[in-house]
């Protein structure tokens, strides 16, 4: 679960826990000011809503799995189906 969480929110946590490379897409380091026109911004994976939704979904499925186990809800078949659909969507996301 921790690995999946880090994959989903790794890009977003850079805002709060940045390193020396943070901001290279947004800041003109030579002039120390924000870039007005960010080239290729829409191509960055962490700003695509489809990527964020895809990654969030696996966390949601894992949370449902924990509830299923803890409360013996008998959702095993449904969760398996959800995981299968999620894995199939990975190929669509790569396109």
Taking only the tens place, the pLDDT of each residue in 59-91 is 899 999 999 999 999 999 999 999 999 988 887
Structure tokens at 8: 């989903």
Residue ranges making up the domain that contains 31: 2-94
CB 83 within 8 A of CB 29: no
What percent of the chain shows pLDDT beyond 90?
Answer: 27
Query: What is this structure's pTM?
Result: 0.58
- State the total domains in the chain: 1
Q: What is the pLDDT of residues 24-33, one digit of tens each?
A: 667 777 888 8
Kind and range of the H or E element at 46? none
CA 28 to chain centre: 26
Q: Which residues are registered as beta bridge partners of 27? A: 34
- Alpha carbons within 13 angstroms on the beta-carbon side of residue 90 total 8
């Amino acid at each position: 679960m921790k690995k999946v969480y880090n994959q989903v929110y790794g890009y977003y946590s850079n805002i709060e826990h940045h390193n020396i490379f943070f901001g290279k897409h947004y800041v003109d380091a030579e002039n120390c000011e924000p870039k007005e026109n960010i080239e290729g911004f829409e191509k960055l994976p962490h700003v695509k809503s489809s990527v964020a939704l895809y990654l969030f979904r696996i966390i949601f499925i894992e949370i449902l799995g924990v509830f299923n186990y803890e409360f013996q809800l008998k959702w095993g078949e449904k969760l398996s189906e959800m995981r299968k659909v999620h894995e199939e969507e990975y190929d669509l996301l790569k396109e």
